[in-house]
Structure 1
Amino acid sequence: MQLQQLIQQRRSVKQFEPNYRLSTAEVTQLLDDAIHAPTSFNLQHWRFVRISDPAMRKEIRAVAWDQVQVTDASELFVIVADVKAWEREPERYWASADTEKRGILLGMIDEFYRGREWIQRDEAIRSGAFAAQNMMLSAKSLGLDSCPMIGFNQEAVAKLINLPADHVIVMMVAVGKAAGDAWPRGGQLPLSELVFENQFSALALV
């Protein structure tokens, strides 16, 4: 399937075949594609909690508005981000760079993040979101469907997965074989309402 098809055919599916199982190779492919997403300074903030315990799935569903995809999807990933990745042995992110370049980059990382807690959190979430999109497109390329989710009690899920204090939950992603069609698209706004030329005062000629 071509990339444009993957992008346009990816939908947020709510109904999954509960008895369908992904192979180990497919799960590995999803995760490997996810970690090839772009990330600021190569910090790779993302972490993936694969929820494989049926009992935990039920507990999460109970704090996620009883959404059936939590328990019925073949796979459920809680995508989280390490907010302090920038100061946690940052040299390992540039282990392949030569000494001079590594020194420059480490200095830039420290200057960019230190004391800027909002940037630390924002960049961690951005990185996790990029990884989630990669995962969902990867799923579509494998003939699977997915559903990104933010409709859940984050504090309750954080407790269930034993989330470290310096990590944040980005979203959950359910993956599996669709048991029904996604809802019809609500309609895309025209590009003429969304694209601006240089400033908000000038609409692009699209």
Structure 2
Amino acid sequence: MDTQLAIESRRSVKQFDPNHRISEQEIESLLSLAMLSPTAFNIQHWRFVLVRDPALRRQIRQVAWDQAQVTDASLLIVLCADLNAWQKQPERYWRNASQAARDFLLPAIQAYYAGKPQVQRDEAMRSCGMAAQTLMLSAKAMGYDSCPMDGFDFDAAGQLINLPEDHVISMFVAIGKALQPALPRGGQLALHEVVINDRFA
């Protein structure tokens, strides 16, 4: 499936076949593609928690408004971000770059993030958002459906997965085989309502 078709056909599916299994090879492929998503300074903030334990899935469903996709999707990914990734051996992120690039980038990372918790969070959330979209489009290209989710108690979900203190949850992404087609699109706004040339009036 080409990129345009994947974008056009991707929909947020709520009802998944609970008996379908995604192979380990397919999961590895999805995650490998997600890890090609861009991140500021190549910090790769994302952490992909694959919730495989059925009992844990049921507990998470309880704090997610009893949404069926939490337990029924073939794959439930809690997409998290490490807020302190910028200071955890940042030389790793540029190990293949030239010495000149490393000499510039490593101090720049420090200057950009140090003492700026809002910047740290904003960049982590942007990174997770891009990774989530990559996951969903990759899943669609592989013949699967998906659903991005933020309808849950973030604190309770964090406790259930033992979220470290310096991490945040961005969203869930459920992936699997749809039991039925998604409802028709609710209605996209016209381009002239959302596209601004140069500046707001």
Matching residue of 1:30: 30
Q: Which structure 1 residue ranges, 5 or more long, are not aligned?
A: 202-206
Offset, 1:103? 1.4
**Structure 1 range deviating more: 75-84 or 111-120:** 111-120
How far does the alpha carbon of each residue in 1:64-99 deviate from its partner, in whole angstroms, 9 at most, with x for none?
A: 000000011001000000111111111110011122
Using the alignment, how far apart are the partners of 1:59 and 1:33 within structure 2? 29
- In structure 2, give the amino acid aligned to 1:51: V
Provide TM-score, normalisation by structure 1: 0.96
Match status 1:42 vs 2:46: no
Aligned length: 201
- In structure 2, give the amino acid aligned to 1:91: E
Matching residue of 1:15: 15
Paired residue secondary structure (1:157): helix
Match status 1:84 vs 2:79: no
Q: CA RMSD in A?
A: 0.7
The list of structure 1 runs, each at least 4 consecutive aligned residues, that deviate by more than 6 angstroms after superposition, is none
Using the alignment, how far apart are the partners of 2:193 and 2:129 within structure 1? 24
Matching residue of 2:170: 170
Offset, 1:2? 1.6
How far does the alpha carbon of each residue in 1:143-192 deviate from its partner, in whole angstroms, 9 at most, with x for none?
A: 00000000000001100100011111010000000001112111100110
Paired residue secondary structure (1:38): coil
- In structure 1, give the amino acid aligned to 2:121: R
Matching residue of 1:121: 121
Match status 1:62 vs 2:59: no
Using the alignment, how far apart are the partners of 1:7 and 1:87 within structure 2? 35
Matching residue of 1:183: 183
Offset, 1:132? 0.6
Provide TM-score, normalisation by structure 2: 0.98
Q: Which structure 2 residue ranges, 5 or more long, are not aligned?
A: none
- In structure 2, give the amino acid aligned to 1:183: L
Q: How does 1:150-161 map to 2 (within 5 A)?
A: 150-161=150-161
- In structure 2, give the amino acid aligned to 1:152: F
Using the alignment, how far apart are the partners of 2:30 and 2:98 within structure 1? 31
Using the alignment, how far apart are the partners of 1:80 and 1:152 within structure 2? 14
Identical aligned pairs, as a percentage?
Answer: 56
Offset, 1:43? 0.2
Offset, 1:114? 1.1
Using the alignment, how far apart are the partners of 2:70 and 2:6 within structure 1? 23
- In structure 2, give the amino acid aligned to 1:78: V
**Structure 1 range deviating more: 78-87 or 94-103:** 94-103
